[in-house]
Amino acid sequence: ETGVTQTPRHLVMGMTNKKSLKCEQHLGHNAMYWYKQSAKKPLELMFVYSLEERVENNSVPSRFSPECPNSSHLFLHLHTLQPEDSALYLCASSQGAYRGEQYFGPGTRLTVT
Amino acid sequence: GESVGLHLPTLSVQEGDNSIINCAYSNSASDYFIWYKQESGKGPQFIIDIRSNMDKRQGQRVTVLLNKTVKHLSLQIAATQPGDSAVYFCAERDTNAGKSTFGDGTTLTVKP
């Protein structure tokens, strides 16, 4: 247990669906992150939130929409995804943005059909 | 483009031996480096980090070495144990450019 939980753990959705991924951290951290991990590709940083403000958006398509309502919750809203968006989506948190000592959740395995 | 890569995709060692996992990076402006461990079915786990003003940092059973001249990073694990079996990947951060890049990963297998 890392103190970061993600739900759901697995998600299958069609290209026309709308779904949301949820992340919650119980560590009192003030920074949260979304990552994408595709098979046989390096980890990709998608979004960074610090003190509930988005501080980094790495050219992520608009079909991915993050939301950070408070310092312990982070959402990733998904709509009209493509099959190539199928991947493991990881959430992480840290005390202070961009610290390497991040605590990762177990991820949501997303399959887009 | 810039990349952070590991020299070997797989590494197999005997239990009790020392392991060395390598990573090459190409962005000379990177000033912060991190090693992560990822076990099957789990998210990555922070192991150790190092800033560019250092060339060596030690943790518990792990040592990270940074050679900025050749843009090379290594992770040394002493007395490797079966629980060390995982994928290890490095990451670099160029603080000024606000850019983070992750390596491909090396799968470490520890034989009993």
Please write the tens of the pLDDT for every residue from B70-87.
999 999 999 999 999 999
**Cβ contact A43–B32 (<8 Å):** no
Partner-chain residue, chosen from B42, B93, B104, that has the shortest CB–CB distance to A98: B93
Contact B89 A43 (CB under 8 A): yes
Which residue from B43, B49, B103 is facing A42, i.e. has the nearest CB?
B103
For A28-75, write each residue's pLDDT tens digit.
Answer: 999 999 999 999 899 999 999 998 888 887 789 999 999 999 999 999
Residues of chain A above pLDDT 70, percent = 100
3-state SS string for chain B: CCCEEECCCEEEEECCCCEEEEEEECCCCCCEEEEEEECCCCCCEEEEEEECCCCEEECCCEEEEEECCCCEEEEEECCCCHHHCEEEEEEEEECCCCEEEECCCEEEEEEC
More reliable by pLDDT, B67 or A53: B67
Q: Is the pLDDT of residue B5 over 70?
A: no
What is residue A46's predicted lDDT score, i.e. its pLDDT? 95
CA B4 to chain centre: 10
Tell me which residue in A100, A105, A106 faces B34 most closely, judged by beta carbons: A100
d(CA A25, CA B104): 27
In the chain, the amino acid numbered A37 is Q
Identify the residue with better confidence: A36 or A2: A36
* A3-62 residues touching B, CB cutoff 8 A: 4, 41-45, 56
For residues A99 and B38, which has the higher predicted lDDT (pLDDT)? B38
Confidence of residue B108 (pLDDT cuts 50, 70, 90): very high
CB A82 within 8 A of CB B26: no
User: Alpha-carbon distance A63 to A112, whole Å?
Assistant: 13
Nearest CA of chain B to the CA of A105: how many Å?
Answer: 6
Where residue A77 falls among pLDDT bands split at 50, 70, 90? Answer: very high
pLDDT of residue B2: 41
